[in-house]
Chains A and B, each alone.
Chain A
Amino acid sequence: MKGNKQTIIEAKNLKKSFRTGDTEQTIFENLDLNLYKGDFTIIMGSSGAGKSTLMYSLSGMDRPTAGEVIFNGKTITSLNDDKLAIFRRRNCGFVFQQIYLLDKMSLMDNVLTASALCDESKKDVIRRARELFDLVNIPEVTQKKFPSQVSGGEAQRAGIVRAVINKPEVLFADEPTGALNSGNSMAVLDVFTKLHNEGQSIIMVTHDKKTALRGNRVLYVRDGKIFGECDLGRYTEENKEREAKLNDFLMEMGW
């Protein structure tokens, strides 16, 4: 707990390293971290700092080399692959920079493929998918198109719908606007903001300041540690103070 915030993810003594031949490269070590329910947490850092690796270790997508990740009170680092997959389907949603939609399926089918694993009735899931498509401004005619037939922004927004269709505890996003132009990026970020405003916990990796401004908490990864953190408060469209605070923070971190 931090104030009245409930911890959703707790990392203890987390270590991640890669071995290439005889050489071990440590990405992070002895890392302790708490993430809170309802937060829009931004993980920033320079290229190769290990921000994506950290996020995927926290989400059960990757296994840390050592340490413990406790998700909603349950240790996920000891789960086997299949249990971890079941854990992900119930608790996590992922949005990737490369979008990774299934290219032989329509946008709607991509979303329903993810929902096939939840216990909700198909009818309810379809209704919810349509609501979410409305939320991200994808009309019905576009929902029936294949990923190759829509713009990058539309595809990424469909990716977000797919990520949240199972009402995950946490939505993980890895540079979701990295491959998009500015117009599409704004539309995608607006969706994240809407979801955050509805209470969705989000953890996002980015190296873009404008994207980082959408979060309320910014963590800075450097030298394999959480080098610093900044509480920006909730995002509003007109908030010069937040922007300045972020700039100061990043300058302090050596950005």
Chain B
Amino acid sequence: MKKVWNQVAYNLKKDRSSYISFGIIILITALILNCAAVLLVQVDPAYVAKFEKLNTADINVLVPEFRHNSDVEAALAELSGIEKAESHEALFLEATVRDFLDTDFAMNTVFYKLEDARTMNTFEMVSESENEVKNPIYVPLYICVVGGFQVGDEITYVLNGKTHIFTVAGVIEEMQYGNYGASMMCAYLPEDGFQALAAELDGKAVVEYSLTLREGADLEKTKETVSKELEKEGAMMLSCLDRQKVKTTRNQVCNLLILILTAFALIILAVSVFLSNFRVKNAIESEIVNMSVLKALGYTSGQIVAGISMPYAMVALLFSALGVGVSYAVLPLLASVLTFQSGFSFAVAFDFVSLAAVVGVLTLVVTFFTVISAGKIKKTQPIDGLRGNSGSKQSKRNPLPLAETRGNTQILLVLKQMFACKKQNVLLFLVCFALTVLVAFSGTLFYNVAIKPENFMSALSDETPDVIVYSENADVTALQNKLLAEPNVENALQYVTGSVKIGDKTATVFACEDFSKTRNDVCYEGKNPQKADEIALGNAFAENYNIGDTVTVKLGDMAKTFQVTGFVQSVNLNGELCTLSMAGYESLSEAPVIPSLYVYLKKNTDAAAFISRIEERYADMVSQTANAQKLMEEAQSMYMGITVVLTVVIFIVTVLIVLFILYIVIKSLLIKRRQELGIYKAMGYTSAQLIWQTAGSFMPVSVAAILLSSVAALVYMPGIFQVIFEALGVMKHSMEVSLGFLMLFAAVEIILNLMISIILCMPIRKISAYALIKE
């Protein structure tokens, strides 16, 4: 064993800087992989733990209060699959929060009584005002983190057209309605405030039935039973959320992040494996004489292989552990990003299982491949090695013979040098190809978020007007005509958002007088409804219905059959939506429909200025407005921030990896070609010529890999985005892969490669022709 340790120590000492470079790549891999592993291991249990800690119900159903009686609750509690039922009074309506991200934020909101005794759906107070405040309200973490509110701040809700100013008395964390993805928010009011609001909001009183399931009960089947029971009792469901739906929407970004991080880490791991293979094979070629001397002295092949492989195993072990350590500095940052989206706080804890898995996998993979590569030494007889023959087939082919090949001799020399180093070319090709895929991914994301934001936003949002105007009275058409006559208005459409029941599922319904004039066509298959009996269903219904089928839709007590004309998507509603023509919606509604007006402004029109103008001009006709353009811009700037960070991080990591790999490749090459470079210098080649010649020899392969990868990205990137968006529930997207942008990134990568290569080749200056003779 001592003999092996001597070899290990010799190898580590001899090529310290290359091992450190290799170690840094392993560190980056471990860092990213551990982030993914910790999120994978900890987010779900943290979610479940919090879910259980707060006794969150498995199913939460809202029904109008007038439909409620004690029999309903008792009947629900008796259902098979239900362990416990609890009911609470609440108020349910669409509320608009003013100055949410500096704009108006409309969302279905459930107001609860703070003092209500609860055994289910309890909440945790994250922070609370120490002093008594005027009109106190307790809002979920999401409102504070995303909306920019703090304890003590005033928060304005517009409810049923009336402005209510509250003070944030506390920030709560709960696991049912606290995230935008479920399209429902909650807020808690003290008894006085709740009663005052209830008195004002006639017809908005609801009862929430919170239900927990018996162990082993099927969620979907129980939901179906609950729905049927409520129907039997004559209680119309206004909303039905279940634990699975909420969990999916809350953890969407987290799962996507884990997916991207894992893919990223695996690509870098593959690069590390190529690199260790290259280094091992190179070391064998340059050290074959020494290794053969050891063999001749009686060292076994196993001892020599161990001597070569162990430094890599040790470096992988040490640096992967370091990478895991560093990841704990990054993870809180990722956790805060996740809090942003999921609305539940998550504290990262040290995870020994992830540490063991990441360090173990990286060390084993690196060791396995280096042992395989070093196995070559077993086939070499000592005498062959002493004669300098490593057992590899020596090329007898002379690529591009100078006398017979046309062209500039110096360029031909660069190409000859390139052909002479096949292993190096393979490594460079694979590395450049893999890293360009990463750069192309982040570049495409950047292009669609920052340069052409409409592509990204149309995939993640529903209809995107510039301004939403609510009419003061029932004559919406009169206001619509006035708005259409405004100089900066391109179009104004009547639009309704509501809630209907399709089978056992509650779905959000969007009705529009003409979907062909909307900005964001969410229909991904078939067509939008045009006639009164047509409907397009959300992707959640796509499994059960086909185009041409008929479907019964209920709104209150009214039920009507519609023909399916297509399928529509929505990232925020879990696919549980549908679109109807305005006539179709009106035929379903018992009460007269008062649509809002979606106003589309001409390019470069300031929505805020437009709102001020119409609020002043049509004060008697406009009850409320929302600056959708601003909300969109804010959302866009949030996504842009994340994307810019992602793009910059991927680019920096790519440059770092290319730097380290080129460092290792060039260092190996300079050691191997030291004599050759001395000969060139003796012939009169200058250092600059040799630096360009050597750096230039990497370029054909790098350029080919980068260009091929860019072409592959051009062809396959839409498919990759399709898979990602489908995971988010978006079936159709407009993400463009810009050839120009790809070429720009490719050009930057090529120039960086050349610059790094030139800088790393600078030690050629120190190789003297005379050193040849001295050696």
- Residues of A at under 8 Å CB distance from B? 52, 56, 61-62, 81-82, 85-90, 92, 94, 96, 100-106, 108-109, 112-117, 122, 126, 129, 144, 146, 148-149, 162, 166, 174
Q: Known contacts A52-B773, A85-B684, A117-B684; is A112 also within 8 Å of B402 by CB? A: yes
A62-B685 CB under 8 A given contacts A105-B398, A148-B394? no
> Which residue of A has the minimal Cβ distance to B679?
A100
Contact of A56 among B396, B410, B765, B770 (CB under 8 A): B770
- Whether the Cβ atoms of A82 and B688 lie closer than 8 Å is yes
Which 6 residue pairs of A and B lie closest in terms of their CB atoms, listed nearest first? A89-B684, A116-B409, A112-B402, A62-B770, A82-B686, A85-B686
Within B641-686, the residues touching A (CB, 8 Å) are 675-676, 678-686
Do residues B401 and A109 form an inter-chain contact, with CB atoms below 8 A? Answer: yes
Nearest CB on A from B7, distance (A): 28
Bound complex: CA A61 to CA B773 (Å): 10
Chain A residues with CB below 8 A from B765, complex form: 81
By the criterion CB–CB under 8 Å, are A100 and B684 in contact?
no
Distance between Cα atoms of A62 and B675 in the complex (Å): 16
Q: List 15 A-B contacts (CB under 8 A).
A: A56-B773, A61-B770, A87-B684, A88-B769, A90-B684, A94-B682, A96-B682, A100-B772, A104-B420, A105-B416, A108-B401, A113-B402, A144-B398, A148-B394, A149-B396
A91 to B769, CA, bound (A): 16
Given contacts A82-B687, A116-B413, A149-B396, 19 further A-B contacts (CB under 8 A): A61-B769, A62-B770, A81-B687, A85-B681, A85-B684, A85-B685, A87-B684, A96-B682, A100-B682, A102-B676, A102-B680, A104-B420, A105-B398, A109-B401, A109-B403, A113-B680, A114-B684, A126-B403, A144-B401
Rounded to whole angstroms, the CA-CA distance of A117 and B403 in the bound complex is: 15
Assembled-state Cα–Cα distance A215/B394 (Å): 40
Which residues on B sit within 8 Å (CB–CB) of A82? 686-688
Interface centre among B402, B678, B684 (most CB of A within 10 A): B684
Q: Which residues of A contact B769 (CB under 8 A)?
A: 61, 85, 88
Q: Return chain B residues, CB-CB under 8 Å to A90.
A: 684
Q: Which residues of B contact A174 (CB under 8 A)?
A: 773
Q: Which residue of A lies closest to B676 (CB)?
A: A102
- Chain B residues positioned under 8 Å from A87 (CB to CB): 684
Q: Which of A81, A102, A148 contacts B679 (CB 8 A)?
A: A102
Most chain B beta carbons < 10 A, residue from A103, A126, A129? A103
Which residues of the partner chain A approach B413 to less than 8 Å between Cβ atoms? 113, 116
On chain B, the residues within 8 Å of A85 by CB distance are 681, 684-687, 769
Flag if A109 contacts B416 (CB, 8 Å): yes
Centre residue among B398, B679, B680 by max chain A CB count within 10 A: B679
Measured CB to CB, the closest approach of chain A to B677, in angstroms, equals: 10
Tell me, rounded to whole Å, the shortest Cβ–Cβ distance linking B770 to chain A: 4
Is there an interface contact between A109 and B773, defined as CB atoms closer than 8 Å? no
Residue of B nearest to A91 (CB): B684
Interface pair B675/A100, CB less than 8 Å apart: yes
Interface of A is mostly: helix
Q: Complex formed: what's the CA distance from A89 to B683 in Å?
A: 6
Residue in A62, A89, A96, A109 whose Cβ sees the most chain B Cβ within 10 Å? A109
Contact with A along B409-427 (1 / 0, CB 8 A): 1100100100010000000
Is B770 within 8 A of A106, CB to CB? Answer: no
For the complex, what is the distance from the CA of A146 to the CA of B420, rounded to whole Å? 13
- A103: shortest Cβ distance to chain B, in Å? 8
- Measured in the bound complex, the distance between the Cα atoms of B398 and A85 in whole Å is 28
B621 to chain A, nearest CB (A): 83
Kindly report which residue of chain B lies nearest to residue A55, judged by CB atoms. B773
Instruction: Compute how far the CA of A114 lies from the CA of B765 in the bound complex, rounded to whole angstroms.
Output: 19
Q: Is the CB of A88 within 8 A of B772?
A: no
Report Cα–Cα, A102/B398, bound state, in Å: 12
CA distance A6 to B243 in the complex (A): 101
CA distance A116 to B675 in the complex (A): 19
Return A171 CB to nearest CB of chain B, in Å.
13
Given the complex of chains A and B, what is the CA–CA distance between A114 and B770 in angstroms?
17
Per the bound structure, the CA–CA distance linking A174 and B770 in Å amounts to: 12
Tell me which residues across on chain A come within 8 A of B410, comparing CB atoms. Answer: 116
Across the two chains, which residue of chain B brings its CB closest to A125? Answer: B409
- Minimum C-beta distance from A180 to chain B (A): 18
Instruction: State the Cβ distance, B301 to closest chain A Cβ, in Å.
Output: 26
Are B684's CB and A88's CB within 8 A? yes
- From the candidates A52, A109, A146, name the one contacting B402 in the complex (CB within 8 A): A109
**Residues in chain B near residue A61, CB distance under 8 A:** 682, 769-770, 773
**Is A112 touching B684 in the complex (CB atoms < 8 A)?**
no
| Chain A minimum-CB-distance residue to B774 | A62
Which chain A residue shows the least CB distance to B406?
Answer: A122
Residue among A105, A144, A149 with max Cβ neighbours from chain B (10 Å): A105
Cα separation A102 to B673 with both chains bound (whole Å): 10
- Chain B residues near A104: list those with CB within 8 A: 395, 416, 420
Q: A144-B398, A146-B398 are in contact. Are A86 and B409 (CB under 8 A)?
A: no
B-chain residues with CB within 8 Å of residue A166 when the two chains form the complex: 684
Once bound together, how far apart are the Cα atoms of A103 and B768, in whole Å?
19
Give A96 Cβ to nearest chain B Cβ, in Å.
7
Q: Across the interface, which residues of A come within 8 angstroms of B675, CB to CB?
A: 100
A108 and B682: CB pair below 8 A?
no
Q: In the complex, what residue of chain B is closest to A109 when comparing beta carbons?
A: B402
Question: Residue on A with the closest CB to B684?
Answer: A89
In chain A, what residue has the closest Cβ to B417?
A104
A46–B80 Cα distance when bound, in Å, is: 108
Chain B residues within 8 Å of A116, by CB: 402, 409-410, 413
What chain A residues lie within 8 Å of B681 (beta carbons)?
Answer: 85
